[in-house]
Structure 1
């Protein structure tokens, strides 16, 4: 069941997102033990382009998933649940990155973001996260040039 999946994705949204299969489980079992590497890679690529496909098919972006995520975050804060959730946060040295907003796991409680969780990334994952950071930074630079 999809409810049994706990996936970890870092970085920006879209083609440069960084799915982390080794931090992904299905009912507590590492996903790498349940499906082949080829199938997992196909799922990862589909995940990266899924948002763009949705926009092309519907003429709009997703609204249910972001709304659900926002509701989970509000509940974690209001009820001081100290949940580990993926949140877009300005990094201040975590993952070797400063002054850039990226999606990373955090502990979310009554004080908002109480702690950024810094996962142990291998060299390939670090490189992919840096690529994602560069893309986000480029988009931010374009937005900064727009008339205010």
Structure 2
């Protein structure tokens, strides 16, 4: 295995943004792009390769490849498949049947060459895709997970930081459950410098307390708002992938909310949902069971039921 080799599957808008963001990490020595549209992949690789001459970018070997390149890859990032477009129903689950088929084909190719690489799924609906990728290919559970609510969490933290007037990296807390309409925020886990969310107005001399409903609605609608404005989302999800790659390559053991297949965790099985996980050199190394209120557990169960219903309709 090449410890610093990443294979990126999909050279669309998200794939291209991810390609450039990975290069800016300065952690990767080899980056291989695979796409059924070889010309598109070649164009993205050529364009990205021109950044390596600048001081801020790594001198990585960037090239177009095939699934055989997965054989010695450390990390494989899956972004292939269509996304929601402006004018379409704003529900990631409408992509389920088509992208489930794409993921099955991709996993059949990957597993010809490896079951050692860590696979990060980005394709939506990411929870459905992650579950099917893991179970249909019988891939090691710790080595395959989705970006899940990592981006939702970043959006939530940024919205709260704006209201309080602090750096968003100082906001702690998670969006959990489905990367979709039934996601929820466990508010008892949200704080800034140890100050609980309900006390932020006093601690930071705010005119009014944090409007939890406004934060939640802004978090849920952010992705769809971006799609309506520019046609697609790319920057935020690309940085989410990079956050995971960095945690793996540097063995950071960072706690991040990612979509993993649950096997009794939170009294839930046979579905992939986002929960806080320790992410390090071996992938999702430990699933944390954080304290949830009875209402939050109900919301978690609702997320699981929604996804179970969708999985039952996929052939």
**What is the TM-score of this pair, normalised by structure 1?**
0.86
Deviates more, 1:95-104 or 1:63-72: 63-72
1:80-99 alignment runs, 5 A limit: 80-99=251-270
1:38-117 alignment runs, 5 A limit: 39-60=211-232, 62-117=233-288
Residue ranges of structure 2 left out of the alignment (5+ in a row):
1-166, 202-207
For the 8 Å contact 1:14–1:51, the answer to whether it is kept is no
**Alignment length (residue pairs):** 143
For the 8 Å contact 1:104–1:116, the answer to whether it is kept is yes
Q: Which runs of 4+ in 1 moved over 6 A?
A: none
Deviates more, 1:32-41 or 1:17-26: 32-41
Highest RCO, 1 vs 2 (Cα 8 Å, sep ≥ 6):
1
- How many angstroms apart in 2 are the aligned matches of 1:31 and 1:64? 28
For the 8 Å contact 1:11–1:102, the answer to whether it is kept is yes
Shift of 1:87: 0.9
Over residues 89-124 of structure 1, what are the superposed CA-to-partner deviations in whole Å (9 max), with x where a residue is unaligned? 000100010010001100011111110000111110
Deviates more, 1:71-80 or 1:30-39: 30-39
| Larger Rg belongs to | 2
Shift of 1:56: 2.4
CA-atom RMSD, angstroms? 1.8
1:3-14 alignment runs, 5 A limit: 3-14=169-180
Counterpart in 2 of 1:27?
193
For the 8 Å contact 2:197–2:210, the answer to whether it is kept is no
For the 8 Å contact 1:105–1:116, the answer to whether it is kept is yes
Change (3 A) 1:45 1:103: same
Query: Which structure dedicates a bigger proportion of its chain to strand?
Result: 1
Shift of 1:128: 0.6
- How many angstroms apart in 1 are the aligned matches of 2:209 and 2:297? 20
Shift of 1:55: 2.2
Secondary structure in 2 aligned to 1:34? helix
- How many angstroms apart in 2 are the aligned matches of 1:130 and 1:49? 22
Change (3 A) 1:50 1:123: same
**What is the TM-score of this pair, normalised by structure 2?**
0.43
Counterpart in 2 of 1:128?
299
